Amino acid sequence: MAVVETRKLSKVFKRGNVGAVVDVDLQTREGEFLVLLGPSGSGKTTLLRMIAGLEEPTSGEILIGGRVVNNLTPRERRIAMVFQSYALYPHLTVYNNIVFPLKAQGVDKAKRKTQAEWAASLLGIQHLFARKPRELSGGERQRVALARAIVREPSVFLLDEPLSNLDAKLRASAREEIEQFQKRIGTTAIYVTHDQVEAMAMGDRVVVMSQGAVRQIGTPAEVYDDPADTFVATFLGSPPMNILEADGALVGFRPEHFLPTGVAERAGAHVSYPFRISHSEYLGAEMILYGTIAEGVFKDRKVISRVPSTHGAGLTDSSLHTFSVAEGDLKFFDPQSGKRTATRRVAS
């Protein structure tokens, strides 16, 4: 088991261009499932590929198990990688796909067989040994890719958006499978995704990235409830956090905290606003209300609310209600840098 560490890791693709990865410092914890989360272009995949050894850093260091690995080939780093497309060798059977890394290491035939069977049994795919990748379903291919990765007993697992090629229905069960698999074998895993739901569900910790830089590293609860800046605050959570400007400050509150007065259960001081609903979406368990603040310092600003359907009575289009937010649920940000600032008072 090893800890992966990067120190001031940067990658610039073309001189003079803005960096794809900028000064990233991170450190995994043993056995954790670390998620690199960000929109496309945020640098998360480049970061992963540098850790794998498929991309050369422009500056900075990568350490695995305390050893600087910058000059080591992927093979020498003892990592395993699951690609977005799974990258199964199409001309080889499932069995030969799985033993390929062992063959490359010169492992003898008998040992290869036992390893392959062990890896396959972990994922329940022994019955697929004779098949070729093109005969497998998406979920089966993922399992083969995982088996091929685990068969070498690597020190780190790297996964590059393996769920994005699956259709939505399959994604949830495939996601669960990866989570359980990682817990069972206990190897440190670094997982790249742009899907924040995936990140929150799977990650022990989440690294939120944007434009090559790390915005925040924390548990799902930390990045969700305690965002470090406006990017993190709005990237996580769907619909995104409402962010409004007044008196030179940015204040944000999540749609699920913006509720009809009386519904909000949290004790303590609340701030209230008249909310005119312009249209709503009924999603079954909850309703999403889009509207504007009718009066006060935030007049005419668009806000979104997320109300459990059980409290949806009377919340129709064009109606006006008083909604409120607990003061504890207000987050403040600096308008220039977007960074989180201390709590302030807010006028109504």
Partner 1 sequence: MFMPAILYIVALVGVPFVLAFFYAVGDVKVGSVGYHFVGLHNFISVLKNPTFRLALRNSFIFTISSQVLVLIGANILALALKDAFPGRRFLRFLILLPWVAPVSIGSIGWKWILDSLYSVISWVMVRAHLVKEYEAPMWLGEPKLAMMSVILVHTWHMLPFATVILLAGLTAIPKDIPEAAAVDGAGYFRTLFQITIPMMLPIINVAVLFGTIFTFTDMTVIYILTRGGPYDTTQVIPTLAFFAGILGSDLAEGAAISIFMVPLLVIATYLVLRSAHRAEVT
- Which of 11, 148, 254, 321 touches partner 1 by CB under 8 A? 148
The nearest distance, CB 57 to partner 1, in angstroms, is 17
Q: Which is nearer to partner 1, 191 or 235 (CB)?
A: 191
**Taking CB under 8 A as the rule, does residue 165 contact partner 1?**
no
User: Contact with partner 1 (CB under 8 A): which of 17, 71, 73, 336?
Assistant: 73
Among 68, 104, 130, 221, binds partner 1 (CB under 8 A): 104
- Helices 109-123 and 138-150 cross at an angle (nearest 10°) of 130
For partner 1, the binding residue among 31, 65, 100, 122 (CB under 8 A) is 100
DSSP 289-330: EEEEE-SSTTTT-EEEEEEEGGG-TT--TT-EEEEEEEGGG-
Minimum distance from residue 112 beta carbon to partner 1 (Å): 13
Residue 83 touching partner 1 (CB under 8 A): yes
CB burial string 238-257: b at 16+ within 10 A, e below: ebbbbbbeeeeebbbbbbbb
Task: List the one residue from 19, 38, 57, 101 that touches partner 1 (CB under 8 A).
Answer: 101
List beta partners, residue 213.
210
Torsion angle, alpha carbons of 176, 178, 184, 186, to 10:
-130
Please list the residues that pair with 249 across neighbouring strands. Answer: 246
Check residue 105 for interaction with partner 1 (CB under 8 A).
yes
Of the candidate residues 152, 171, 270, 321, the single one contacting partner 1 (CB under 8 A): 152
Of residues 14, 15, 109, 134, which one binds partner 1 by CB under 8 A?
Answer: 134
CB 222 within 8 A of CB 160: no
Distance separating the N- and C-terminal Cα atoms of the chain:
54
Beta carbon of residue 155, minimum distance to partner 1 (angstroms, whole number): 13
> Min. distance of Cβ 149 from partner 1 in angstroms?
9
Question: In 63-108, which residue ranges form alpha helices assigned H by DSSP?
Answer: 94-104
| 99 in Cβ contact with 106 (< 8 Å) | no
Which stretches of the chain bind partner 1, using CB under 8 A? 52-54, 73-75, 79-81, 83-85, 87, 89-91, 100-101, 104-105, 134, 148, 152
